[in-house]
Amino acid sequence: MIYALDSITKHYTTRDGVVHSLDGLSFGVKPGERLAMIGKSGAGKTTLFRLLNATLRPTSGTIYFDERNVGELAGRDLRAMRRRIGTIYQQHHLVPSLSVLDNTLCGRLGHWSLWCTLRSTMRPTKHDAEEALHALEAVGLADKRFARADELSGGQQQRLAIARVLVQKPDVILADEPVASLDPTLAENIITMLVKLADEQKRTLVVTLHAVELALRHFPRIVALREGRLAFDTEANRVSRDALEDLYTNERASANEKDSPDAATWRELRCTR
Amino acid sequence: MPPHGANYVALADKARDTLPARNSSPHQMNDANARRTNGVTWRRVLVACVGVFVLIASWYAAEVRPSLLLERGTLEAVSKFARGMFPPDFSPAFLRIVLVAVGQTLAIAVTGTFLSILIGLPLGIMATATLWRRGVLLAGERHNFITRMFAAFSRATLALLGFMRAVPDLVWGLLFVVAVGLGSLPGTLALAISYGGVLGRVYADVFEEVDARPLEALHAMGATRAQILLRAVLPQAAPSITAYTLYSFECCVRAASVLGFVGAGGIGYEINISMRLFEYGQVLTLILAFVALLALNDALSRRIRRRLRANVSRKASLLNRKSAISETAQRESVEAGAIETSDAAIRQTAAEQIFSGQLVLNNTRGVHQFKHQLNSRLKTYTLTFAVIVVLASSFYGSGLTNGALGDANLFARSGRFIGAMFPPETDFAFLRSLLKPLAQTIGISVIGTLIGVTIGALLALPATTTLVLHEHDEAGRRSRVEQFARYAIYFTARLILNALRSIPELVWVLICILAVGLGPFAGTLALGLHTGGVLGKLYAETLEDVPVKPIEAMRAAGARPLQILLWGILPQARPVLASYTVLRWEMNLRVSTILGLVGGGGLGQAIYNNIQLGFYPRVLTLIVVIYLLVISTDWAGEKLRVRQVSV
């Protein structure tokens, strides 16, 4: 098990009282596994992501990463662990004023010593530069490397975020809604690319997706969250239409429209099954 | 895809600046881009050379001698001062003096603000370009002698406002002290003139920026200029004008506190006296009173401003609704306009615009009525009464009404003083002798800002919450000791920054004179210490306000704090940091012209000396020099800031 989650709870205290984002969640992830998380927005997927990449601490419960208790790590050990986990964010989280190349190099930060950091701020080493360029080639952005990150289109920014994770050489790739802001064709391409890159290097891939159809097509294992709890956790070909409708119909009434899977996906779903 | 790898490695080796030529066009474009941001060009070399030259020249002009700081005498003087400050003097007799001084400062500030509004409003109206010089109101008019005269008059008013603004308030204070004698009256007059200039300019800018369509509509109806001003310009400008006037009152309180250094009453006067009597305990008490006054002032104006903003937003939402209504009405009128001529339709639209212009007024009135009903009449009367009492007592306290104005001698004396300044001294030898203090002033501002940037940058890092403090639910084990140490570092840095910032430059000058003696070096140090406090706070706030998402991504990838700073925070914050620094340098140049009034070198010293010696024509020349220096700095700062933004 690369990840083992043991009855994870996360509460937020707001003005309106305590919000239970995650409520006693337990599951595990095997090395090299490919899994997609689905669920309505507000089900706790993003919180779960921030717990998985160790930028947030749970209110209670334990997370084990590679047999080690994340809650007991600090300083150097914590950074070393984070280095092994690559995260791709929904809104890309790039530095807008840096060039594409520099943004890619940001993925190397965890590998650099203090001295190397100072030197690399002036000029990257040959090795890092090559790595960055390979990664940019892999996502097809090599010719854009001197452009500023905020000059890129949405799809290009997403590819850049992927390149940044590639140079990090993590054991696990986490992607939180990587295609939420892209059109369907582009989304398909990005997911295919992610799956291919993860497969080539035997990396674990954990993705949250709103497009259920994409998730079912590309990921062998589906984990569904509802109101901070596990709704179901099963193989993709065992996911029943009823279970899916159950997961989302409740949402239809409450959540706003843009967060629900779009009508096209639903029609497609109905046709294929 | 062509093999970029080898090319990039070569490129990295050559420090990204000398790129081999490429064939395909997008590459060329990108490479040109790279050269633009990273390359070494002649222009850059030239700019760097000029920068180094300015720094070296400033260093010499400001007579910076760092070795002086480490001398035994310096350290002894500083430690004597520090020891002398404790315990602060809290004896009842002295506390009474402090109380009177605080009251006097407030009186000067209130009266000064009131007079500056009285001066600024008419001048601002006169200087507004849309009313007198260009724009819709004048487009259809024939240019005759009268319109031309008005335009020229308006332009002259603008120049006058610029002059009133550019001459520092302390110089105005010194001049009025000579003209009308010591006390709080000269301070009040100085504030009135100096902030009259500031407010006049701000008012003119605000009037200029109001929506021009209602003006056009009223003009088309044949309204007079006064009517247009009252019905279309003022109602639109009212919220921003109120906000700016409040802000200017805040600045007036600050200014009133230091005007005493040239003999114009208030807290500054007492600080100056205690300093010269070597009563450092009293100095500390006065500084504490000063800081308390400023903090109170800050809190009060923040409260008023928040209330004002709530009002404005309510008004705005009302306005939006109304404008939506008038838009539908307009559309209907156009549909109905099938039977009318297009000319009539235009008239209709114009009428509707007037209608909406009036609505602005109606709404303000409506909101007031609403508030009155809510707060009850009694409260309104009490408030009005309180305002009148405050104003009256301020007028009394500032020495405007206790017989001073009735004194015929006063006017005669001021008249003689002004007469004595003309014509300004233009003797070549004198002009050449001004070069040294001029260079000193610029040198003080440059090196002082540099010291400030250094201090600010060093203290801003430990004062940035996002760098130093953990968020409470951030992952990772934390020990109590570490947590405590982090808080200790953070609060120490904030405390030092606040202390540096809240002590005014002129007090710093007096302290630095104790340490390194009279002269530009004391002024430079003083300016650097105060600027360090101001910039440190601004830097820390900027670093905290940077978008957090990229930083979160870096932290998740295992980056250490220094890496987050270098790769995530600084690249995003750089333009803001640079523009704050340039802005502060501009302000420091103004300040460095007055540091000399208390012995900090530069042009201020020359003014002070010549006033003491009674060479009034020379004083006038010096004022003109300061004016020219300040306006050219404004221009240079504008240029520098535009460059920063484009980079």
pLDDT computed for residue B472 by the predictor: 65
Chain A residues in contact with B555 (beta carbon < 8 A): 55, 82
Are A100 and A157 within 8 A, CB to CB? Answer: no
Are B468 and B489 within 8 A, CB to CB? Answer: yes
When pLDDT is cut at 50, 70 and 90, the band that residue B121 belongs to is very high
Partner-chain contact A91 B549, CB within 8 Å: yes
Partner-chain contact A89 B553, CB within 8 Å: yes
> Could you check whether the bond before residue B235 is cis, i.e. omega within 30 degrees of 0?
no
When pLDDT is cut at 50, 70 and 90, the band that residue B492 belongs to is very high
pLDDT computed for residue B351 by the predictor: 37
Q: What letter would DSSP give residue A235? A: E
Structure tokens of B192? 């009135």
When pLDDT is cut at 50, 70 and 90, the band that residue A138 belongs to is confident
pLDDT computed for residue B54 by the predictor: 87
Partner-chain contact A168 B557, CB within 8 Å: yes
Beta strand spans in B15-128 (E): none
Q: How does DSSP assign B366-428, residue by residue? A: HHHHHHHHHH-HHHHHHHHHHHHHHHHHHHHHTTSTTTTTT-HHHHHHHHHHHHHHPSPP--H
- pLDDT digits over B515-572, tens only? 888 888 999 999 999 999 999 999 998 888 888 888 888 888 888 888 888 888 888 8
Evaluate if residue B119 carries a pLDDT over 70. Answer: yes
Evaluate if residue A272 carries a pLDDT over 50. Answer: no
Chain A residues in contact with B4 (beta carbon < 8 A): 133, 137, 142-143, 145
When pLDDT is cut at 50, 70 and 90, the band that residue B476 belongs to is low
When pLDDT is cut at 50, 70 and 90, the band that residue B58 belongs to is confident
CA distance B599 to A214: 76
Distance from CA of B11 to the nearest CA of A (A): 10
Distance from CA of B49 to the nearest CA of A (A): 21
Partner-chain contact B550 A94, CB within 8 Å: yes
* Polymer length of chain B: 647
Of all residues in chain B, the percent with pLDDT exceeding 90 is: 11
For the residues B92-98, what does the mean pLDDT come to?
87
pLDDT computed for residue B27 by the predictor: 40
Of all residues in chain A, the percent with pLDDT exceeding 90 is: 0
Higher pLDDT, B316 or B639: B639
Structure tokens of B313? 């937003």
pLDDT computed for residue A265 by the predictor: 54
Which residues have C-beta within 8 Å of that of residue A165, sequence separation ≥ 6?
A86, A87, A88, A107, A173, B557
CA distance B101 to B258: 12
Chain A residue with Cα closest to B37: A146
Structure tokens of B351? 């009428």
Partner-chain contact B566 A93, CB within 8 Å: no
Out of A55, A86, A117, closest to residue B475 by CB: A55
For the residues B408-429, what does the mean pLDDT come to?
77
For the residues B131-145, what does the mean pLDDT come to?
74
Read off the amino acid at residue B112. Answer: G
Chain A residues in contact with B556 (beta carbon < 8 A): 53-55, 82, 85, 87
Distance from CA of B635 to the nearest CA of A (A): 28
Chain A residues in contact with B478 (beta carbon < 8 A): 74
Distance from the Cα of residue A194 to its chain's centroid: 11
Out of B15, B34, B559, closest to residue A109 by CB: B559
Partner-chain contact A95 B572, CB within 8 Å: yes
Out of B26, B37, B557, closest to residue A110 by CB: B557
Within an 8 Å CB–CB cutoff, is residue B66 touching chain A?
Answer: no
Structure tokens of B272? 């100056």
> Comparing A113-127, A147-161, B6-20, B549-563, which segment has the lowest mean pLDDT?
B6-20
For the residues B621-632, what does the mean pLDDT come to?
89
pLDDT computed for residue B448 by the predictor: 93
- pLDDT digits over B576-601, tens only? 888 888 888 888 988 898 888 888 88
pLDDT computed for residue B455 by the predictor: 94
Q: For this complex, say whether ipTM is above 0.90.
A: no
pLDDT computed for residue B373 by the predictor: 57
- Please report how many Cα atoms fall inside a 13 Å half-sphere around the Cα of residue B608, on the Cβ side: 18
CA distance A53 to A27: 16
Are A273 and A219 within 8 A, CB to CB? Answer: no
Beta strand spans in A72-130 (E): 85-88
pLDDT computed for residue B116 by the predictor: 93
Within an 8 Å CB–CB cutoff, is residue B473 touching chain A?
Answer: yes
> Is the Cα dihedral B423, B425, B428, B434 positive or negative?
negative
Best probe of the A interface among B8, B480, B644, B645, by most A CBs < 10 A, is: B8
> Comparing A193-197, B65-69, B113-117, B201-205, which segment has the lowest mean pLDDT?
B65-69
Distance from CA of B584 to the nearest CA of A (A): 24
Evaluate if residue B14 carries a pLDDT over 80. Answer: no
Of all residues in chain B, the percent with pLDDT exceeding 70 is: 78
For the residues B343-368, what does the mean pLDDT come to?
40
Distance from CA of B563 to the nearest CA of A (A): 7
Higher pLDDT, B32 or B199: B199
Q: What letter would DSSP give residue B222? A: T
Chain A residues in contact with B475 (beta carbon < 8 A): 51, 54-57, 70-71, 78
Within an 8 Å CB–CB cutoff, is residue B555 touching chain A?
Answer: yes
- How much helix, strand and coil, in percent to the nearest 5, is found in chain B? 80, 0, 20
Convert B254-286 to b/e letters by CB count within 10 Å (16 or more is b).
bbbbbbbbbbbbbbbbbbbebbeeebbbbbbbb
Evaluate if residue B123 carries a pLDDT over 90. Answer: yes
Q: Which residue is associated with the tokens 């369907």? A: A184
Q: Which residue is associated with the tokens 């099938």? A: B338
Chain A residue with Cα closest to B6: A130
Out of A74, A94, A129, closest to residue B8 by CB: A129
Partner-chain contact B30 A130, CB within 8 Å: no
CA distance A36 to A214: 9
pLDDT computed for residue B87 by the predictor: 84
Best probe of the B interface among A5, A95, A99, A113, by most B CBs < 10 A, is: A95
Chain A residue with Cα closest to B478: A74
> Comparing A103-117, A130-144, B20-34, B481-495, which segment has the lowest mean pLDDT?
B20-34
For all residues of chain B together, what is the average pLDDT? 77
Within an 8 Å CB–CB cutoff, is residue B481 touching chain A?
Answer: no
pLDDT computed for residue B313 by the predictor: 56
Out of B1, B4, B558, closest to residue A79 by CB: B558
For the residues B208-214, what does the mean pLDDT come to?
82
Best probe of the A interface among B555, B562, B564, by most A CBs < 10 A, is: B555
> Comparing A58-62, B216-220, B583-587, B613-617, which segment has the lowest mean pLDDT?
B216-220
Chain B residues in contact with A129 (beta carbon < 8 A): 8-9, 12
Evaluate if residue B325 carries a pLDDT over 90. Answer: no
pLDDT computed for residue B371 by the predictor: 53
For all residues of chain A together, what is the average pLDDT? 81
Evaluate if residue B359 carries a pLDDT over 80. Answer: no
When pLDDT is cut at 50, 70 and 90, the band that residue A44 belongs to is confident
Convert B403-440 to b/e letters by CB count within 10 Å (16 or more is b).
eeeeeeebeeebeebeeebeeebeeeeeeeebeebbbb
Task: Supply φ then ψ for residue A27, to 5 degrees.
Answer: -165, 170
Evaluate if residue B334 carries a pLDDT over 50. Answer: no
Partner-chain contact A87 B557, CB within 8 Å: yes
Which residues have C-beta within 8 Å of that of residue B608, sequence separation ≥ 6?
B174, B596, B597
Which residues have C-beta within 8 Å of that of residue B638, sequence separation ≥ 6?
none
CA distances from B98 to B86, B268, B289, B473 (A): 17, 11, 8, 47
- pLDDT digits over B165-188, tens only? 888 888 888 888 888 877 788 888
Partner-chain contact A93 B560, CB within 8 Å: no
Helices vs. strands in chain A: H and E counts, helices first: 10, 10
Out of A55, A73, A79, closest to residue B552 by CB: A55
pLDDT computed for residue B374 by the predictor: 56
CA distance A102 to A120: 10
Chain A residues in contact with B37 (beta carbon < 8 A): 99
Higher pLDDT, A114 or A79: A79
Sheet containing strand A68-69, strands side by side: A17-29, A3-14, A60-65, A68-69
Evaluate if residue B477 carries a pLDDT over 80. Answer: no
How many interchain CB pairs under 8 A, A with B? 147
Evaluate if residue B332 carries a pLDDT over 80. Answer: no
- Please report how many Cα atoms fall inside a 13 Å half-sphere around the Cα of residue A100, on the Cβ side: 27
